[in-house]
Amino acid sequence: MIRIPNIETYTQEIINGVMILTPKEMNITEEEIYKTNLAHSTILDCVVKNGNNVITNNTKYISILRDIWISMPTQKILQTTAFNMKLTNENNANGYIWCSKLNMSIQYKDATNTFIEIINMLKVNNYTIVIRIKLQSNKIIRFVIE
C-alpha cells in the first residue's frame, strides 16, 4: 500500500499505466510571500513588464533584480534600494560584486531578501510580475502584481 499525505494538493494523471502526481499551483498574496522561505527554491517562469514592454523573463532572483535596476536611472536606484551599493569597483571586498551594466558594486543578499527587493522595485516603477516558484518542499506558488 502507498499512502500519500495531502493528495488534494496534487493533480493526478495516468499515462501508459503510470500514475503521475504533479503539485498544484497555489496563488500566494504579497503578505504570504513575505513569510515564505525562498531558500533552495527554483523559479519556473517569470515575466516582469512595464506596460507591454518586457523588462525581464529571467529565472534567477538576482538576474531579475539586476534587469529591473538596469531599466532605472541610477539616482532612482540609489534612493529606493534596500541593498548596499557603491559607485566604485570594490573588487569583491566585503561581499560587493561589480556590475558593469550598472557601473556599481552591489552587496548581494539571499533569495528571500532579493525577492523582497524585487517587490520593492516593482512598486517603485509600477511594473507588473507573474512568477511561479517551486519551493524546497516541491510546493509550487504563483505570485502576481498587476
Residue 54 pLDDT > 80, yes or no? Answer: yes
131 and 125 Cβ atoms separated by less than 8 Å? no
pLDDT of amino acid 91 = 83
Residue 23 pLDDT > 80, yes or no? Answer: no
Return the percentage of the chain with pLDDT > 70, whole number.
100
pLDDT of amino acid 41 = 97
pLDDT band at 24 (very low <50, low <70, confident <90, very high): confident
pLDDT of amino acid 12 = 87
Per residue in 81-137, pLDDT tens?
999 999 999 988 888 999 999 999 999 999 999 999 999 999 999 999 999 999 998
3-state secondary structure the chain: CCCCCCHHHEEEEEECCEEEEEECEEECCHHHHHCCCCCCCEEEEEEEEECCEEEECCCCHHHHHHHHHHCCCHHHHHHHCCCEEECCCCCCHHHEEEECCCCEEEECCCHHHHHHHHHHHHHHHCCEEEEEEECCCCCEEEEEEC
pLDDT band at 45 (very low <50, low <70, confident <90, very high): very high
CA 7 – CA 113 distance, rounded (Å): 31
CB-CB neighbours of 29 under 10 Å: 10
Return the percentage of the chain with pLDDT > 90, whole number.
80
CA 29 – CA 37 distance, rounded (Å): 14
CA 89 – CA 96 distance, rounded (Å): 8
pLDDT of amino acid 137 = 86
93 vs 72, more confident: 72
